[in-house]
Structure 1
Amino acid sequence: MRAALPTALALLLLPVAASAGTNSPQQTVEAFYRWRMASAMSGAPRGEELQQLRPWLGRELLCLLQAAGELRDRAAAAQPDEKPPFVEGDLFSSVFEGPQRLTLGPLKRGQQQSLLDLHFEADTGAQPPLFRWTDRAHLRLEGGRWVLVDIEYRAPIEFGNRGRLRDSLREALEPADPALNWPGGAVTRCAARAKP
């Protein structure tokens, strides 16, 4: 469904975002979703993908996503016949298949935190062919730059992501699961890492 641009183009976007000393919430969101819609990432990001996400995501969210990838890998090793968590789907959108187009809504900006509505579109191939929904980005100033710290899923759909990205990660990552060789405690570790 998503036409992937060559990896080289996605990598070209990274230095532009990373080199800018200051930014706006809108610039962060536009750069992140331009990369996201061009990438083939599905589920929790892997090593190279995590590195590419650093300019746009807050420290705690990056840590939680890294932990989600670790849980996925441990679950796959412990239960090879079961589908592991965080293995597929777009974590940054209500819709698992992800958006194809983005229009930014009005910004609600505070001194340290901002909210930005994300108006998404995707061609479904069904009738009607175009699906539209709105999610909400939560941003915060970290180290003098605006970064994404959460996505609020708001699409009125039966099957898709619900609630908030950070809450769903925390719920899955905090408890220990001996069957998956998962020690738990990731939320506590990531919260401590997020402190300046």
Structure 2
Amino acid sequence: MRTLRPLLLFALGFMLAACGEAKPEADALRAAAVFYDIVLSARSSGVPDADMRARLRPVISSDLDSLLSQAAEAERRHTERVNNSEPPYLQGDIFSSLFEGATAYEIGTCDGDERRMQCEAMLAHEAEEPVQWTDRLVLVANGGPEDRRWLVDDILYGGDWDFASKGTLKSSLRAVIAEEE
């Protein structure tokens, strides 16, 4: 599995725009790649800390950013309440189905409309026993047609093994927040 490079995606988008054929799919694809470049380079575990959230802020929706912040605060309260005697609610890579996280990605097709897209993310974890799976990124458009930016709004987990993350990233974050309300 190869890792897509944002420069290649930028060039593709530039060529499509030059031909007058720029499509929301190409922009969403580029946004998804930038998101995974950040996530894979950070190799974070659990709810991201303030520095990681700041790195993600330009590529995620305000709703997802808010949920990440609220979940971080809920995790902080939990740790304080139990005097650090229990592990955090969320552990491992929350941005993929696999606890250990992905080490490579490839963005597949994106489909949707001018306001909302879903993009396939073929992910892999290269190890002694490699694992491959497909999650789906939900992206939302921010801005109007002239200045539209695609932002990651959720992840639909697609891993089908016993201990894969299930449901969506947002539902996991909401569950953590609800535990400490």
Q: TM-score, normalised by structure 1?
A: 0.73
Q: Does 1:64 align with 2:38?
A: no
Instruction: Indicate conservation of the 8 Å contact 1:71/1:85, yes or no.
Output: no
Q: Deviations over 1:125-155 (max 9, x none)?
A: 2xxx221100000001023210000100011
- Structure 2: how far apart are the matches of 1:121 and 1:132? 4
Question: Which residue matches 1:168?
Answer: 172
Q: Deviations over 1:102-128 (max 9, x none)?
A: 111111030100011110111232xxx
2:150 to 146, 164, 177: 146
Q: Deviations over 1:24-55 (max 9, x none)?
A: 11111111111111113211111111111011
- Structure 2: how far apart are the matches of 1:141 and 1:41? 26
Question: Which residue matches 2:46?
Answer: 43
Percent identity over paired residues: 27
Q: CA deviation at 1:167?
A: 1.5
RMSD after superposition: 1.8
- Structure 2: how far apart are the matches of 1:171 and 1:81? 20
> Residue 176 of structure 2 aligns to which amino acid in structure 1?
A
The 3-state SS of whatever aligns with 1:55 is helix
Question: Which residue matches 2:134?
Answer: 134
The 3-state SS of whatever aligns with 1:50 is helix
- Structure 2: how far apart are the matches of 1:83 and 1:35? 25
- Structure 2: how far apart are the matches of 1:121 and 1:157? 14
Which runs of structure 2 are paired with 1:51-130 in the superposition (5 Å)?
51-79=54-82, 80-86=84-90, 88-125=91-128, 129-130=129-130
In structure 1, the gaps of 5 or more residues are 1-15, 17-21, 185-196
> Residue 121 of structure 2 aligns to which amino acid in structure 1?
L
Q: Give 4+ residue runs of structure 1 displaced > 2 Å after superposition.
A: none
Question: Which residue matches 1:32?
Answer: 35
Q: TM-score, normalised by structure 2?
A: 0.79
Q: Deviations over 1:35-92 (max 9, x none)?
A: 1111132111111111110111000100000111111111111112111213x31111
Q: CA deviation at 1:159?
A: 0.8
Q: Does 1:158 align with 2:162?
A: yes
The 3-state SS of whatever aligns with 1:54 is helix
Q: CA deviation at 1:171?
A: 2.7
> Residue 33 of structure 1 aligns to which amino acid in structure 2?
Y
Q: CA deviation at 1:160?
A: 2.3
